[in-house]
Structure 1
């Protein structure tokens, strides 16, 4: 679980870096649109993949189940995002198996 969380955090940082690079790199003509789009798309895909890995991860015990729920709750509060129906069901299903 810790490896998945680290991977997700790294992906979020890559997204933030891509946005920061586009916003603060100086003159707009210095940032090729295609380069920014590719960097942003790649970072967003990795973020989605890492998030899905956490959502679908099956905790080995109650401690990991609580860690998973805590991480997801913190992520949702920090980003003001939400889980779609599939993600909610997968999270509840995988966490419920540890009882």
Structure 2
């Protein structure tokens, strides 16, 4: 989660720099787009790591679901069908292990 949050901050910082007009004189549009693409990929990798993470216990399962819910609400985004399946499967696996 820390990696994902850091990537989100990096994305926000890159956009802020562009909006402030700092990037227009020092960095070309292509370089800025490439930098933004790089932080976007890190954000996506962090999000996928969280989605695919199998919690070790009930507490971690609750934290994972709470974090994902907060992320989706804050960004107004949704999970793809495959991402939703991965989240539900990991939760089912953990629930089965706890009941056994």
Please name the residue that 1:33 is paired with. Answer: 29
Q: TM (normalized to structure 2)?
A: 0.89
Question: Which stretch has the larger CA shift, 33-42 or 44-53?
Answer: 33-42
User: Are 1:44 and 2:40 counterparts?
Assistant: yes
Please name the residue that 2:98 is paired with. Answer: none
Please name the residue that 1:19 is paired with. Answer: 15
Count of aligned residue pairs for this structure pair: 95
User: Are 1:84 and 2:73 counterparts?
Assistant: no
Q: TM (normalized to structure 1)?
A: 0.89
Q: Which runs of 4+ in 1 moved over 2 A?
A: 25-31
Q: Quote how far apart the aligned CAs of 1:26 are.
A: 4.0
Please name the residue that 1:63 is paired with. Answer: 59
1:22–1:31 Cα contact (<8 Å) kept: no
The higher radius of gyration belongs to: 2
1:25–1:31 Cα contact (<8 Å) kept: no
In structure 1, the residue corresponding to 2:46 is in which secondary structure?
Answer: helix
Give the CA RMSD over aligned residues: 1.3
Q: Quote how far apart the aligned CAs of 1:35 are.
A: 1.6
Q: Quote how far apart the aligned CAs of 1:38 are.
A: 1.3
Counterpart CA distance in 2 for 1:27 and 1:84 is: 33
Structure 1 unaligned residues grouped into runs of 5+: none
Deviations 1:31-73 (A, max 9, x none): 3112211110000000000000000000001110010000000
